[in-house]
A = this chain, B = another copy of it.
């Protein structure tokens, strides 16, 4: 409505974002359970403790809810992540910690990450671009760290490989949430993280020649 009179604006803003947080929280649960399309606005309203009418005081459309969710998830991921990162580790240890922390945050915010990951594609045009932009920012963190490690002499990748590696880390994290009913039933977070770190850094741990074929000069174990 056009009734923008100045005085109440500040209070409004605060209330609005508090309410929106409520809505986001409720929506995450519902979207997780039934998916964005099958969850109805009435259900979201109910779950956040409002009537539909009230819900629409704070959002413009159903898609707005999804956008709010996606938007807040990234911020939450990044802020939680940064809290785990203050150390002044260097080199490989640092890289390891950056990746592990990321995995742990994703695990912690599973529901949110999953919704965002699965439903991003339902956003349209500008909102989609905005959310993807945030994803790229996370990829860039890894890229920066990898470049760092390379400069310190731990890695030998070229730029293309490095960019792919950064993307790869990002996605491997998200994958933990994606098929979780299949994956998380079988493996624990710790096991998964341990495996992925090993996998990322050392690969399968291959013996180039099968040891029973010829005795290979083995390095330090």
A165 on the interface (CB 8 Å rule)?
yes
Q: How many copies does the complex hold?
A: 2
- In the bound complex, CA of A167 to CA of B121 (Å): 25
Looking at chain A's contact residues, is the secondary structure mostly helix, strand, loop, or mixed? helix
Which residues from chain B contact A121 at a C-beta distance below 8 Å? 35, 118
- Decide: A165 and B199 in contact? CB cutoff 8 A: yes
Question: Count the A residues whose beta carbon is within 8 Å of the partner chain — how many?
Answer: 51
> Which 8 residue pairs spanning A and B have beta carbons closest together?
A203-B203, A153-B210, A37-B37, A202-B203, A164-B195, A153-B211, A201-B203, A152-B210
Known contacts being A164-B191, A187-B164, A210-B91, is A157 close to B205, with CB within 8 Å? yes
Most B CB within 10 A of own CB, among A35, A118, A154, A163: A154
Which residues from chain B contact A54 at a C-beta distance below 8 Å? none
- Decide: A164 and B182 in contact? CB cutoff 8 A: no
Which residues from chain B contact A210 at a C-beta distance below 8 Å? 91, 152-154
Interface string of A182-221 (1 = CB under 8 A from B): 1100110001100110111111111110111100000011
